[in-house]
Amino acid sequence: MLTEKYILAIDLGTSGPKVALVSAEGDVVDYEFEETPLLLFPNGGAEQNPDDWWQAIKKATPRLLAKHSDSVANIIAIVCTTQWSGTVAVDQHGSHLMNAIIWMDSRGARYAKAVTKGWVEVEGYGVEKLATWLWLSGGIPTHSGKDSISHILYIKNELPKIYQQTFKFLEPKDWQKSWACLRMFRL
C-alpha cells in the first residue's frame, strides 16, 4: 500500500497567508488563513509589517498541521508564493528597517516619471531611457508608482536615513524565504 504524499503550500497574499496541505496529485486537502493588517496612508501609501507576515504564518501553519497530524510525516515539499512588487528594505542581518511598501503603494510615481522622461517621448517615456531600461532589465518603472523601483525611489527621496541604512531591497517572497531560513537554522 502506497502512502499518500503531501505538499505544504504557503501563499502570502495581501490580506494574509493561506497555508494549505495539498496532495502530490494537486488536490487541496485543507487550508488555514490568518489575516494581516493593511496600513493605508494619504497620497497612495500602502504598507504592511513583515513581522505580521511571519507571525501569521506561524499561527496558520500549526493550526493546519494539528488537524492533519497523521499526514505531517508524509510532507515531501514546502512551497511558498507571495504578493509581488513589494519592497522590503533590510539591513545586513536581513532585518527589515521599516514596514514593507506593498504593490498597492503609488507614492513613488513622481520619482518614476522623473527617471523615465526624456526629450522625445512615447507614452510619457523618454525613448532613450526606455531603450536603456529595456536593454538592461527587460522592463521599465511604471508611471503608476506601483513597482519596486518606484518604491526604492520613494525611500531614497523621502526616507533618506532608511535608504542609507539599507543593505538590500527584497521582494516579500525573498524576505519571507530568507527570514524563514535564518530562523529555521537559527543563523
Span 84-131, pLDDT tens digits: 899 999 999 889 999 999 999 999 999 999 998 988 988 889 999 989
The class level of CATH for 6-103+166-184 reads alpha beta
Q: Which residues of the chain have pLDDT under 70?
A: 1-2, 176-187
Break the chain down into helix, strand, coil percent, rounded to 5. Answer: 40, 25, 35
Write down the domain spans for the chain. 6-103+166-184
- pLDDT value at position 187? 37
pTM of the model: 0.86
Distance CA 159, CA 141 (A): 19
Residue 105: closest CA among 58, 153, 53, 54: 153
Angle between helices 109-116 and 148-158 (to 10 degrees): 100
| Amino acid (1-letter code) at residue 118 | G
